[in-house]
Amino acid sequence: MVDRFEGRKVIITGAGSGIGRACVHRILQEGGTVVGLDVAEDGLKQTAEQSAHAGQEQRLRTVVLDISDETQVQHGVGEAVRGLGGLDVLVNAAGILRSAHTHEMTLDLWNRLIAVNLTGTFLVTRAALPALIECGRGVVINFSSTSASFAHPYMAAYAATKGGIQSFTHAIASEYSKKGMRAVAVAPGSIQSDMTTGRGPGLPADADMSLFIKLAPAIGEGMAGPDKVASVVAMLASDDGAFITGTEVRIDGGTHY
C-alpha cells in the first residue's frame, strides 16, 4: 500500500458505516491522520475497533456529531481542525437514503433529506473551508450519487439532494481554485451499504421492482463493496488527483453507460 497521505490531515463524515468507514480505513492505510465524524456512536466504536485491530488507532479520532446541526458542526469541525493542527482533506460521505411515492412524500421527509444530505454537506464544508484554504492545497470530496443524473424511482428527494451536491461542488471548485483548493464529487451506484441492503432505502410496499432492471452493474457479479469507492476517493484526494477538480466521477460498474 502506498503512503499518499503520510503527514496529511483528513476529516471524514459518515465514518461510522459503509463507504465513510471504508474511506477511513483506506486513508489510514495510506498513512493519513483522520478525524471520523458520525451521528452513530456505536458505528464509530466499530470503526475505531477495526482500526485498532489493524494497528492504526493512533492516527484516528472519532467524534459523535449530527451534520445537520449547525452548532454541533461549528464546534465539532473546529475542534477536529485544532486537534489535527490543520486540515488537508475533507470527505463528506455522510448521508441518508429514504424512499417514497413522490405524491405521498411528506414535507417532513423531504426536509429531513435536504437537512442531512445537502445542508449537512454545506455546513461541514463551510466550517472546514478556512483551514483548507490555509493549507494551500486543500481538497473537498463530496458524495453525490448516480441518482443525480439517472432515474432512480421513488427517490426523488434523495436525487434532488445529490444533484444539489454536484452543483455545490462545481461552484466551490471555481470559487476557491485560485487559493489552491480542489473540489470533486463522486457518484457511487450499485454499491453495497446499509442504505442499499435488501429494501434498505424503505421502498414502498407496492414498489414496481421492474423499474430497477436498469440499475444492475454491467461488470462483476452484482453490487460492489464500499472499498471500491474508497479507493477512488483516495486517488482523488491525493496528489494523484491533482489535475481533477470541478467535476464528478461515477463509480457504478457500468450500471449507467
Q: How confident is the model at residue 228 (pLDDT cuts 50, 70, 90)?
A: very high
Q: Tell me the HSE value of 88 on the side-chain side, using a 13 A CA sphere.
A: 18
pLDDT per residue over 111-164, tens digit each? 999 999 999 999 999 999 999 999 999 999 999 999 999 999 999 999 999 999
Residue 107 has pLDDT above 60, yes or no: yes
Helices (H), 85-148: 107-113, 120-135
- Closest Cα partner for 93 from 200, 199, 208, 232? 232
Could you list the active site residues?
A: 158
User: What's the mean pLDDT in 26-51?
Assistant: 98
221-239 as b/e, with b when 16 or more CB fall inside 10 Å?
Answer: eebbebebbbebbbebbbe
pLDDT for position 11:
99
pLDDT for position 215:
76
pLDDT for position 213:
78
Q: How confident is the model at residue 201 (pLDDT cuts 50, 70, 90)?
A: low
For domain 9-251, is the CATH number 3.40.50.720?
Answer: yes
Residue 35's DSSP bridge partners are 11, 61
Domain ranges of the chain: 9-251
The percent of residues in the chain predicted with pLDDT above 70, rounded, is: 96
SS3 of residue 43 by DSSP = helix
pLDDT for position 256:
87
Kindly give, in sequence order, each residue whose CB lies less than 8 Å from that of residue 52, ignoring residues fewer than 6 positions away.
none
